Structures are given as structure tokens and as C-alpha cells.
Structure 1
Amino acid sequence: MQISRLFGIVYYLLDKKESTAKELADRFEVSVRTIYRDIQTLSSTGIPIYTSQGKGGGIFILNNFVLNKSVLSEKEQDEILLALQNLSAAQYPDIDFVLSRLSNFFQKSDVNWIEVDFSPWGSDERKKEKFNELKMAIIRKQIIMFEYFNASGTKSMRRVEPMKLIFKDKAWYLKAYCYDKKAYRTFKISRMANLEISDDVIGQRIPGEFTAESEDNHILEFIDIRLKISPAGAYRVYDDFNEKEITKHEDGSFTVHTSMPIGDWLSNYLLSYGPVIEWIEPQSLRNTVIGKMEVIMQNLNRKDETR
């Protein structure tokens, strides 16, 4: 993150000739103190960047300065552009300006090779905006409020200090300090609703240990399961399980041996396989799935007098 900002500062000053610490801080969305630290870093690398005090003062680079790309190897240039492209795909503020200038400077045109969309297929614009709102709240160190639905569907209001976004097992999560629980928690972003960004700024806090956001906040218990999946379910098998857990048979069917957290969600998850699932062990889990299937059949066969 810092290296892209440093290059951004250099190119901004080369383009604008002169700026102020506040103008740079606003542009790169960091504090004035951070900008002055960046100036010291750039100066220590030999870049002739200076500050002048008083009326008409500011930050500038000597007019005869030319950034020499030979100080970076081909591999280092590619790694810088890769990092910037990832930030651009994540819609990091003003990064496209830096990416464009550096790609031209390094004489590399093929940099638009990745696109990242943090929302599922078919999501509306509001869902697509949620990730970026959380990202900016973390960058700007703003406290946020939202409604949260836990695994059992219970709704609660939360006020938190957002700290990190993490992608794990096909879903995005927010790691944050929760004022309501007075502890660090992990929230599944898809279960967050009515997000509000506060003007309150996060104070200095010593990072603590994150714990999973669950009904009782206890350590999850796991159960060993065996599944038999028909050939038509190949797309789900390889999406959901590790290759080491999968055995493919000559008829194209699959056996999966894995371990998964115990909970009501597990039987609902297995039901999502529909007719491609042919066997479930242990017996207790199979009975639970069958019981839910019977309830579904009763509900679907029941005459709805209100329809």
C-alpha cells in the first residue's frame, strides 16, 4: 500500500510541480503526518523532494529530476504493477492514476488482466456498494453501525470499530471490535443490513484475538461425514471439497469423506444438493435430512387456502 502511495506522490508532484501536505493527504486519504513520513522516505532514497515553509510554501520536486526506471528490475516492475492492478480491481481511491502513469513509464500496456467484483452474481447495486463502504470506513478509521443476523436468524444492532476485511470459504467477513460485546468479533458481510458510517473516529486500540461470531461464541464442534454424490453433482463436489477428500468411481459418481461443523446449517446445506446426493453418513445426520425433506413435502402438498 505504501509503495503505491509513494509512487503516486512522486508522479503527482511531477505533474503538478508543487503541492501542500494537506492536499496530498486529502488525495491519498491519509493523515498529514503520514505524508510527511512519506516525504522523509522518498528523500532518503535520493529523490530530490523538498518542503518550504511560510506563505506560498509547499512540497515540490526539483525541476530537473527524472525518475530512472533502471533502478527497478523487470520482475520488480511487474510486481509493482500487479499490486497496483489488484488495488485498482478493488476500486482503491485514485489508484488508476498511478497505475496508468507507471504502466506508461515502464512501457507495459497489458495491465488490465484482472477484474474483481466482491458481490455475488445477480446482486443489486446496494450490495455491491457495501464492500466499498466497509473498505473506506477501515481506511478512514470510522466507527460503523449495522443490523446483524446471526446463524439462527436473531437480529441485533451492532456498533463496531472495523479493522479488516477477509475472504474465507467463498464469503467475505468483517473483523472488528464490537462495543456491544466488548470483544473482537467476525461478522459475515452478507448478514449485515442497514449499514451506517459514523463521523466518530476510532481511537488507538491494542489488537486482540478475534473469535468467530456464533450463537454461543464457543469453539465449533466438528463431525466426520461421508457423502455419495451422483455424476451430475461433479460441479458441486469440486467446488465445495478438497481434492484429497474426494474419491471418483468408475461410474462417474463420487464419495466424499470430510469433517464439517455441527449445526442446523449442515442439514440445510446437504439439502441444497437436491437429487444428486445419494447417501449420507452418519445415520443421525441422514435422519435429520430425511426429516426436513418430509416437512418440505408436507408443506408443498398442503392446500393453501389463502392462495
Structure 2
Amino acid sequence: MQVNRLFEIVYILLNKNYITAKELAEHFEVSVRTIYRDIDVLCQSGIPIYTSKGKGGGIGLLDNFVLNKSVLSKGEQEDILSALQGLSATNYPDLDKVLNKLSNLFGTKQNNWIEVDYSDWSNTQKNKFNLIKTAVLQKKILKFQYYNSYGEKGSREVEPLQLWFKNKSWYLKAYCRTKNDIRTFKLNRIKELSILNEQFTRDLSQDIVSIQENIPQIPQEAIKLRISSSQAYRIYDEFDEDQIEKEKDGGFIITMTYPEDDWVYGLILSYGNYAKVLEPIRVREIIKNKLKETLHSYD
């Protein structure tokens, strides 16, 4: 379409000092005459394009020209660019191309405020993430084997709605055809993943509230720990500042509120003999019993 070609001509001119009509014609697979007609249309629309003849000549834009973007404030333009850069976390296709176009459109230099590195992920995990992302964007059905929190394996067929990052882990929000309900799946537990050649029409906006309502609400437990000063390198990574009280000997009193489950027991046990449960007594006894069970497993 001519409108798309006109916009792309302007984008090209914003990136180059000049270009010949022949080069533009080859790029768009149209005639040189068509390109000159497009240039006339752009000039009549107020785009300050100039042409020069002879060696080194061509078509260009007047210096310091940017497209009229008065619809958006400067702050809104920066928000758009920042939000798009945030998509780098998902390896969104052609993102650099879009950012370059919008930066030129806004007459703004990109501020690369975010960089996401998945170097600790295996290729299997990266491929899984990208496969799910593709299925979400293309509304394709996913099929996989899933291990629940009890280690039970089951086959699932789902309509993927959203990738969700929470508490250092990636999850998939999806409508599970196997369970006929909205479910949340942890990516690490998804195995044998494949995209089916079938599309769905379900919209995330219809189901997001249902997803949140279906996440089990586990009772919270206030737990107080004493942790050795030798673990300071972990303390400030794993706890909020208002949960930490430093003692005179350099140790730490940690007051935290977490769902009482195997995860929080595992967190406490990961500190070994450097951590001691002070309250509540019931959790203290649970940790003692788990330590005894571990010791007996070596008998």
C-alpha cells in the first residue's frame, strides 16, 4: 500500500543522509517514476525533502527534521521507548528495528536502561520460554507433561494466556482443557512441550480475574530466626530491610511472614547450623524433626 511505503520512505531518509531514487525503487520493487510520485506526495504533505543531481546526489531530508509527534508529550514518548526496551526480557521479535524507528520518529536517542541476561538458563529452558511465548502471541494450543508439587506427572493441553514472572520464577497462566479451568504452571515443571496446529479465541482480559481467584491462598505464618553474621551476603539478597534487625555481635534477627510450606522449610534448612528458629515453637520442632530425618538417612 502507498501509505505504508510513504512512511517507510521517511524512516529510511531519517536513517540516511541521502539515498537515490533507484535504490528506493529496488527496495520497494516499484519503478523510479513511482518513487518520484511518492516524493511529490510527501513534499505536498509538508515533509522537507530535497533532491540533488550529479555524483553523490540523491534524495534526502533537511537537517534536524523529525516527524510531527505532537500527539504525544515528551514524557509519553520516553515511556513508550522505555516500555519497549523492557520487552528485551522476552526476546521480542524485531524489537531493535521497532525501537530504531520510534527513536528516529521522536528525534530521541535511545537510553538503554535495561539488559536481561539469561546466561544461567540452559538452552532447553530458553527454547521452552520462546516456544511458550510464540504460542501466547499466536494463540496456539500447547501440549506438555507437567509435574505438580507432589511430583505427580500428568498430560496437559492448554490455551496459553500469559507468561508471568513472580518471586524469581517464570509461570504460565493458561486455560487447562484437561482440568477445564484456569491454572498457573511453573515453567521448570513443564516437560515434553509442543505447539499444536490449533488456535483458540479465549482472551486474557476475560480470565485474568479468574486466574487470580484460582491461585490457592496459603495461610501466612510469622516466623522469627536468628542467623549468623557469616551469612550477611545472603541476608540482604533474600529478605527485605524491614525484616532484618542487626544484633551487636553482627548476627541478624529475621522476622518474616511466609506461607508455611516445604519451600519456607527448605529456605531455613539451607542456612544449616547458621540459622535457628526462635518462633513459633511449632515451626522450630518441624525443623528439628527434618534435621533428625536427614541425619537418620545417613545411618
Q: TM-score if structure 2 supplies the norm length?
A: 0.71
Structure whose alpha-carbon radius of gyration is higher: 2
Asked whether the 8 Å contact 1:11–1:101 carries over to 2, the reply is no
1:245 correspondence with 2:246: no
**Against the structure 1 CA distance between its residues 168 and 11, is the aligned structure 2 distance closer, same or farther, given a 3 Å change threshold?**
farther
CA pair 127-13 structure 1, distance change in 2 beyond 3 A: farther
2:242 partner letter: K
Q: What corresponds to 1:160 in structure 2? A: 158
Q: Is the 8 A contact 2:11 2:104 kept in 1?
A: no
Residues 143-175 of structure 1: CA deviation (Å, up to 9, x unaligned): 111111112211111111111122111211111
Give the secondary structure class of the aligned counterpart of 1:289. helix
Report deviation, 1:9. Answer: 9.3
CA contact (8 A) 1:230 1:278 kept: no
Letter in 1 for 2:256: T
| 1:179 equivalent in structure 2 | 177
Q: What's the secondary structure of 1:151's corresponding residue?
A: coil
Name the counterpart of 2:57.
none
CA contact (8 A) 2:81 2:110 kept: no
Change (3 A) 1:69 1:83: farther
- Count of equivalent residues: 247
Relative to structure 1, is the Cα distance of residues 126 and 223 closer, same or farther in structure 2, using a 3 angstrom cutoff?
same
The letter of the residue matching 1:286 is: R
Task: Check 1:11–1:192 CA distance in 2 against 1; reply closer, same or farther (3 A cut).
Answer: farther
Query: Aligned residue for 2:210?
Result: 209
- AA paired with 2:210? E
Alpha-carbon distance in 1 for matches of 2:269, 2:143? 34
Using structure 1 for the length normalisation, give the TM-score. Answer: 0.70
**1:265 and 2:266 aligned:** no
Whole-Å Cα distance in 1 between the matches of residues 297 and 132 of structure 2? 40
Listed as ranges, the gaps of 5+ residues in structure 1 are: 1-7, 18-59, 303-307
- Give the AA of the match of 1:188: K
Q: Distance in 1 between matches of 2:277 and 2:5?
A: 60
2:149 to 142, 148, 151: 151
Determine if contact 1:163/1:177 at 8 Å carries over to the other structure. Answer: yes
CA change 1:123–1:88 in 2 (3 A) is: closer
> Is residue 2:67 matched to residue 1:68?
yes
Provide the secondary structure at the position in 2 that maps to 1:219: coil
Instruction: Note the C-alpha offset of 1:286.
Output: 1.9
Q: Which runs of 5+ in 2 are unaligned?
A: 14-37, 48-65
Q: Where does residue 97 of structure 2 map in the other structure?
A: 97
Q: Corresponding residue for 1:81?
A: 81
Distance in 2 of aligned mates of 1:88 and 1:122: 17
Kindly, what percent of the aligned residue pairs are identical?
37
Answer yes or no: is the 8 Å Cα contact 2:11–2:101 preserved in 1.
no
CA pair 210-128 structure 1, distance change in 2 beyond 3 A: same
Other structure's SS at 1:122 match: coil
What is the CA deviation profile of residues 48-89 of structure 1, one whole-angstrom value per residue up to 9, with x for unaligned ones?
xxxxxxxxxxxx995445462452443333222212212244
